[in-house]
Amino acid sequence: MDEDAQYHNVSVGATYDLPTRSTVYLLAGYQHASGMTLDAAGNPVAAPASVSDKGNGHSSATQWQAIVSVGLRQKF
């Protein structure tokens, strides 16, 4: 392989407390992959991006991937 895989990541998060016992949150992440890696059969392929943990995430079909998560947390 000519070029080893490189991964560049950025992530941000924010929370906003509502007047009640609730909080709104926002999380975002982005990854760009470059270079080459090996697939399951040992063949060289372009490095895919994969944002999230391996157990729950899916690799992108391209060399970049972005995710956004928005939620509401209520305290009891």
The pLDDT tens digits for 14-59 are 999 999 899 999 999 999 999 999 888 999 999 988 887 655 667 7
In this prediction, residue 56 carries a pLDDT of 60
Q: From 4, 61, 57, select the one nearest 29 (Cα to Cα).
A: 57
Whose CA is closest to 59, among 69, 43, 45, 47? 47
- This prediction's pTM: 0.75
User: Strand runs (DSSP E) across 1-76, as ranges?
Assistant: 6-17, 22-34, 36-38, 44-46, 64-74
